[in-house]
Structure 1
């Protein structure tokens, strides 16, 4: 049987120091039929020259401008012919055997469209990393959470989330995608530009009947914050805007209106709190995110049916603030719906 062809795509913009740190680990990946594509978003730091000199076997795509995450990845995907596409952030380091468990699981069922490895912190490898941890979920209001990370709190990895289970979303920092599934539902939403685009893609795939899973046997290590820091008001703007657009795209109108009403109350309350504490940039980012989401809604048609709703049927913001839940395992198991697992949320 022929080994599946995997194309690993890494998008970078003025990230030479982290590319020098992480790309050599990707180049050591043990996989027979492997293509590595380095996509440069018009950097000015000679990233392309360094990659060309040190890794002549890596394919380089140089974009004429900074196409950001969605468009740059999409263009690279369109230029590859493969069975699977692996998206890696340029600040992700991998072990040499990270890919095999993902492909092995993908090959077990044609309905599995996306697989995520366990994502640990690069500088503190005993702890889960913010971007995906051990598999992502959405609560009923569309707020993301993950096994090993709730909002800013990341857990120590002691094997508590080593079960492979179905999830709502996989992190764009490190994910394996079935190419035929992308041909079926489309690529990353280029209107999103940055942030939430992988969650939206996973939701669209789930609505089409595909599965998203995490395979903790595979591990990668993420530096994080290479594009925008987690405290950046610009990052907050994209997260708010794109999250509201994602809900509009994937929830039937009646459910969207119910969720939107609750989100306005919660998000604007947080924005007001930021304003009262002098964080006016963050407060303005919330307002701009909502206004721009409203302006962009005309690009989309909401779905008719309610297939593939978020799996966590609670409100994670209230769980976090009022009940002080900091660990995924603290959450009530009865609230986790629609996701195949071994019978628990761990």
Structure 2
């Protein structure tokens, strides 16, 4: 590259000193020239900042006044970072020295590419894909996100089956590469999401604006996963169900959104029954609250957690200006025309390669 783009790796931290100790050395070993490394801190109460200042004085620290969640935290931190490319990197990720170059090279090859992610493997089992992103994200006709290499709870071994870089529907927030100009144009994350599926919403908005989202097979990272909210946390269940409905409401045309959300309410009721049958009453309640709070949001009542939240002026000011996507060209690449639920649970198609390619846009 003649003009080397300015790249900033930005790690959002909240009480994650154990991950910083373990994984910062690998980030610092990155070979991208002039790489800026930033740790944005969401008002941690552990010794995260003391550890960085003492051991890595060249790392830039940006402190938030309180814990604004994944979405609000990144919005505030990135507004203070000057770079051509942002890399939003989870603190529980191990990288290899040359992990940045292939992704930036891919993104520089096409001005319509707004965001991308590398191959994401499991830190614990490095020959297996990791749940959060795997080999690129897709979306089915009823709004269920899934990945190449991971469908629901079935995770594949990496045997080189996804060795081709391709356009996908969404890129994982565990290691999200995004051009700053498109981050700014899209308005960053929607802070109402707080955490979970916010990157899917951002990617969908970018695609509705005519841009592309890519999977880069030539770069690999290793993700621990579940560093903040583990899979058994009912609050995570709540966020996943509520935010899934929110992104459908925001990004689909009105009548299509009305139809899909109606179907999803019925399918989510089955999820409640399943949780109750498994003795997971807190998760069943979380799904119910997700539905209630989604309905409240339709009437302009924003809800955080399980209670109503009165947004501060600061939060209102930093939220995206438009609730629905600004639609220029609806890029459907990465959409699956069928039902992933039907294929997985009824037809027992548990791998991405089991799906009919003709149903993939």
TM superposition score normalised by structure 2? 0.91
Summarize the alignment of residues 276-291 of structure 1 with structure 2, pairs less than 5 Å apart: 276-291=277-292
| Structure 2 residue 244 is the aligned partner of structure 1 residue 213 | no
Question: Which secondary structure state, in structure 2, belongs to the residue aligned with residue 283 of structure 1?
Answer: helix
| Structure 2 residue 355 is the aligned partner of structure 1 residue 331 | yes
Distance in 1, Cα, partners of 2:76 & 2:183: 13
Residues matched between the structures, number:
337
Map Cα deviations across residues 139-176 of structure 1 (whole Å, 9 max, x no partner): 01111100100011110000001110000000000010
Residue 297 of structure 1 and its aligned partner are, at CA, apart by: 2.9
| Structure 2 residue 330 is the aligned partner of structure 1 residue 307 | yes
| Structure 2 residue 13 is the aligned partner of structure 1 residue 12 | yes
CA contact (8 A) 1:252 1:306 kept: no
Assess, with a 3 A threshold, how the Cα gap between structure 1 residues 286 and 328 changes in structure 2: closer, same or farther: same
CA contact (8 A) 1:84 1:177 kept: yes
Distance in 2, Cα, partners of 1:122 & 1:6: 24
Summarize the alignment of residues 118-129 of structure 1 with structure 2, pairs less than 5 Å apart: 118-129=119-130
Distance in 1, Cα, partners of 2:197 & 2:278: 27
CA contact (8 A) 1:120 1:221 kept: yes
Partner of 2:346: 322
Aligned-residue Cα RMSD (Å) equals 1.4
Residue 257 of structure 1 and its aligned partner are, at CA, apart by: 1.3
Distance in 1, Cα, partners of 2:55 & 2:152: 38
CA contact (8 A) 1:248 1:302 kept: no
Assess, with a 3 A threshold, how the Cα gap between structure 1 residues 65 and 304 changes in structure 2: closer, same or farther: closer
Partner of 1:226: 227
Map Cα deviations across residues 288-317 of structure 1 (whole Å, 9 max, x no partner): 111111212355347778823461111111
Residue 61 of structure 1 and its aligned partner are, at CA, apart by: 1.1
Partner of 1:344: none
Assess, with a 3 A threshold, how the Cα gap between structure 1 residues 305 and 216 changes in structure 2: closer, same or farther: closer
Residue 273 of structure 1 and its aligned partner are, at CA, apart by: 2.1
Partner of 1:239: 240
Summarize the alignment of residues 157-236 of structure 1 with structure 2, pairs less than 5 Å apart: 157-236=158-237
Distance in 2, Cα, partners of 1:35 & 1:303: 32
Summarize the alignment of residues 57-72 of structure 1 with structure 2, pairs less than 5 Å apart: 57-72=58-73
Residue 199 of structure 1 and its aligned partner are, at CA, apart by: 0.3
Distance in 2, Cα, partners of 1:321 & 1:204: 30
Question: Which secondary structure state, in structure 1, belongs to the residue aligned with residue 238 of structure 2?
Answer: helix
Assess, with a 3 A threshold, how the Cα gap between structure 1 residues 304 and 93 changes in structure 2: closer, same or farther: closer
Distance in 1, Cα, partners of 2:326 & 2:262: 19
Distance in 1, Cα, partners of 2:247 & 2:298: 10
- Structure 2 unaligned residues grouped into runs of 5+: 301-322
Distance in 2, Cα, partners of 1:314 & 1:196: 21
Partner of 1:38: 39
Summarize the alignment of residues 34-113 of structure 1 with structure 2, pairs less than 5 Å apart: 34-113=35-114
Structure 1's consecutive aligned runs of 4 or more residues displaced over 4 angstroms after TM superposition are 301-306
Question: Which secondary structure state, in structure 1, belongs to the residue aligned with residue 62 of structure 2?
Answer: strand
TM superposition score normalised by structure 1? 0.94
Residue 66 of structure 1 and its aligned partner are, at CA, apart by: 1.1
CA contact (8 A) 1:166 1:212 kept: yes
Partner of 1:248: 249
